[in-house]
Amino acid sequence: MEDVAFDPRALFDSEKSFEDRPVVRYQAELLDPAVAKAFMDGVVQRNGVSMPLTTDNALANKRLTVVVGNEPHLTVAGLIALGKQPTDFVPGARIHFVRIDGREERFGAERNVVKERWFDGPTLQMLEQVREFLRTLVSEFDYLGPDGTFITDSEYPELAWDEALVNALVHRSYSLDKAPIVVRMFDDRLEVESPGGYPGAARPDADGVFPLSFPRNPRLAEALRYLSLVRLAKEGTRRMKAEMDKLGLPPPAFQEIQGMAVKVTLRNDVDRRRPRAEIESQKESWRKVADQLGSDLAVYRSNAYESWERLHSLRAQAPAEVIEAADRILRNPAIATDEKNRLTRSMVQEETPAMDAWAKSWAEGLGRDRPPHTDYQVAQILAHSQDVLETILVMLEGRQIRTGEGRSLAFNALSDRYTRRELPPEDWTKRVLAACWEPQSASWHPESASLYYRITGKPLPLPPDPGLGDLNSR
């Protein structure tokens, strides 16, 4: 690399137009080839260029090079945007990450930094490396939602912390040439600190949004926009706040530190969100329940039922793998009725998508020529879903349940619905009674006798058809 006749460090004495200052005589070898190509593609695409365009011309046109002594020189903005190794000329053009154990940083003998790493190189490559690294450290919070099902949220929304990194790269003061961007991760927050105070008159409002845009490095911002790294002015902080709002987290907090740095803080609200370890323990308990339900030994299945009841008392609802294991027990004619009754007590308490899907699948299975084994416990469980009962009734009305075993389960499920204190509407009951009659054979379904008696208090009338129009009088 050819030496230059001036020391670029000597130029780092003023904020004004610093990004336009020449750094080194332009040579293609100073640029990262992949980034330079992506930049050229962005210029052509965004500007609709149809005439041939060289990299030299594009850099000059976007003021990423300036002429010094009749020779083009890369500016600070050009070096940061496209340079292969910006730290050769701006030592602070890198990111320092530290993970701190706790909520406050300690020093000396009590130093509590547990992970530390430096990132440099081409700006886009450096940013991608930091992104990949942070993804491995950002945790997930698992908790029980209002319906008792597990919900998984990210510790911080990726768009928010990514936007904080991009803003730091674009809006930092590169005249503080030895100062890096610093990312600190605490137990309760993530901080991104960039060199330089607030640019111009830009100040955040109470919601952590910058209503005005005064970019410190407009040419750098434009170059990075061609690389699809920067979006519209003012959009970034709005998107950060919106993403934090989605997770119910505090808005980003901006702070100027003695006019020499800007720090943005994202808080994970850890005290409110349920610790991951507790939920992982519950998940492991559910996995154990599923395994024990599949055991050939009754003593292990009995332990699974006890665990299920305990977990339900904590409002933790069974996942699909547990419902599937319970289904295999219900289908097994070798399992004792008393054990199935105990299993049924747990299943009827579940109101989850997994349970709804199971019940719907069972109901739809009644229309098959060879339905599964149908103990009465299944009917009790199906009766706890009005949607499933409606499906069963529609199938009876359409004469889609062709086997006696299937019809028996269907009528038993409808019958169990009438054991509750709150009865269904009278119009629905009339449909149920009408479904007890088989017009094709001009006879009552023999499986419907218990249901008919439960509703009317009378045994099934003898054939022939007594006239369904008189159902209201029965």
State the SS3 of 305-374: HHHHHHHHHCCCCCCHHHHHHHHHHHCCCCCCHHHHHHHHHHHCCCCCHHHHHHHHHHHHHCCCCCCCCC
Residue 281 — very low, low, confident or very high, per pLDDT cuts 50/70/90?
confident
Instruction: Indicate whether 401 belongs to any domain.
Output: yes
**Structural domain ending residue among the three candidates 23, 50, 84:** 84
Task: Tell me: do 370 and 334 sit in the same domain.
Answer: no
Q: Is the peptide bond before 466 cis (omega within 30 degrees of 0)?
A: no
Instruction: Indicate whether 2 belongs to any domain.
Output: no
Predicted local distance difference test score (pLDDT) of residue 278: 66
Task: Tell me: do 300 and 443 sit in the same domain.
Answer: no
pLDDT tens, 119-176?
999 999 999 999 999 999 998 776 655 555 567 788 899 999 999 999 999 989 999 9
Inter-residue contact 194 to 262 (CB < 8 Å):
yes
Average pLDDT of 78-93? 94
Contacts 24+ apart (CB under 8 A), 27-30: 27/1, 27/2, 28/55, 29/1, 29/84, 30/1, 30/74, 30/79, 30/83, 30/84
pLDDT tens, 155-167?
899 999 999 999 9
More confident residue, 2 or 146: 146
Q: Which positions ≥6 away from 472 have C-beta within 8 Å?
A: 430
**Structural domain ending residue among the three candidates 60, 84, 108:** 84
Predicted local distance difference test score (pLDDT) of residue 9: 39
Instruction: Indicate whether 89 belongs to any domain.
Output: no
More confident residue, 235 or 350: 350
Task: Tell me: do 108 and 252 sit in the same domain.
Answer: yes
CA-closest candidate to residue 171, choices 230, 112, 131: 230
Task: Tell me: do 138 and 17 sit in the same domain.
Answer: no
Instruction: Indicate whether 56 belongs to any domain.
Output: yes
Rounded distance, CA 451 to CA 411, Å? 6
pLDDT tens, 364-395?
888 876 655 667 888 889 988 889 999 999 99
Task: Tell me: do 311 and 365 sit in the same domain.
Answer: no
Task: Tell me: do 140 and 60 sit in the same domain.
Answer: no
Task: Tell me: do 190 and 107 sit in the same domain.
Answer: yes
Sign of CA dihedral 269, 274, 278, 284: negative
Average pLDDT of 268-285? 73
In which region does residue 234 sit, left (phi positive, over 0), alpha (psi from -120 to 50) or beta (all else)?
A: left
Task: Tell me: do 114 and 262 sit in the same domain.
Answer: yes
Q: Which residues pair with 253 in a beta bridge?
A: 265
Task: Tell me: do 22 and 155 sit in the same domain.
Answer: no
Instruction: Indicate whether 202 belongs to any domain.
Output: yes
Average pLDDT of 112-116? 92
Burial of residue 403 (CB within 10 Å: 0-12, 13-18, 19+) is middle
Rounded distance, CA 267 to CA 250, Å? 6
Q: Which domain holds residue 447?
A: 356-474
Average pLDDT of 286-291? 93
Parallel/antiparallel/unpaired status of strands 113-119 and 95-100: antiparallel
Rounded distance, CA 300 to CA 306, Å? 10
Residue 234 — very low, low, confident or very high, per pLDDT cuts 50/70/90?
low
Q: State both tokens at 156.
A: 């911080």
Question: Mean pLDDT, the chain, as a whole number?
Answer: 84
Inter-residue contact 253 to 233 (CB < 8 Å):
no
- Domain tally for the chain? 4
Q: Does position 50 have pLDDT exceeding 70, yes or no?
A: no
CATH number for 111: 3.30.565.60
Rounded distance, CA 391 to CA 239, Å? 44
Of the listed ranges 16-25, 117-126, 201-210, 218-227, the one predicted with least confidence = 201-210
Task: Tell me: do 260 and 148 sit in the same domain.
Answer: yes
The percent of residues above 90 in pLDDT, for the chain, comes to 46
User: HSE-up of 87 (CA within 13 Å, CB side)?
Assistant: 16
